[in-house]
Amino acid sequence: METLQEKPATMPRIGDEAPAFTAMTTQGEIHFPHDYSGKWVILFSHPADFTPVCTSEFMTFASMESRFNKANCMLVGLSVDGLYSHIAWLRTIKDKIEFKGMKNVEVKFPLIEDITMKVAQKYGMIQSGESETQAVRAVFFIDPKGIIRTIIYYPLSLGRNFDELYRVLIALQTSDAFSVATPADWNPGDDVIISPAGSCGMAQDRMEGREEGLECKDWFFCTKKLDKAMVLNTILKS
């Protein structure tokens, strides 16, 4: 019979419903993703409390939390440590740690206790090539309907780029709101990509400039302007 550690890591895919669970956190019990219906969620895991890379990440996320909240996004962390360890670590961060000018940082978003690794297993966060007992740095973007929209995985040694995580959130919401795609390195204010022509007639119209507002390099590669203020006013909550 397979033990928990021997069980192969499973992983939900983009487009799947986020696996449901109930768990105790530093902010009380949560029922996930039910409690977050109507909001975006970033669910992210870290290997262990009281480790320097994780400490730098939690300070950064906590310092940016209001930015994510304004984009209708809640943060939920996870590690396989216990609740009392979580509480002690977060208090240490607030009382003692300074990083890149950040100090007295209070982590207010929930941090899941997962000592049984049940949640980590549901989300494929335990990667045997990295560790049998620690979750890798996984990031799941879950939309207001509880659907997984993006998955990013980092090894234990690599800290995350939080500006990129914020950019991904805004890009996903922009795609939904305006029915467009976002090209490489896109940020609000940059041109967006329109879906390729679905017929020969549409392709010809685009190449002959009959579709107003489009700039087409070829029949399949067309962009248009999307005003930065329009994007941010649509997405961000005051």
Q: Which residues are annotated as a binding site?
A: 137
Kindly give the residue spans of alpha helices, DSSP state H, lying in the chain.
52-70, 83-96, 118-122, 162-178, 200-207, 228-235
201 C-beta neighbours (distance < 10 Å), count: 9
Closest CA to 136 of 163, 149, 108, 117: 117
Backbone dihedral angles phi then psi of residue 212, each to the nearest 5 degrees: -65, 140
Q: In what order do the strands lie in the sheet with 148-154?
A: 28-32, 21-25, 111-113, 73-79, 40-45, 137-142, 148-154
Backbone dihedral angles phi then psi of residue 62, each to the nearest 5 degrees: -65, -35
Instruction: Please tell me whether the peptide bond between 19 and the residue prior to it is cis, using omega within 30 degrees of 0.
Output: no
Distance CA 193, CA 203 (A): 15
Instruction: Yes or no: say if 174 and 226 are a contact pair by the CB < 8 Å rule.
Output: yes
Residue partners of 76: CB distance under 8 A and separation at least 6:
25, 30, 32, 36, 41, 42, 43, 44, 109, 110, 112
Catalytic sites, residue numbers:
54
Instruction: Yes or no: say if 127 and 136 are a contact pair by the CB < 8 Å rule.
Output: yes
Numbered residues of the known binding site for substrate: 137
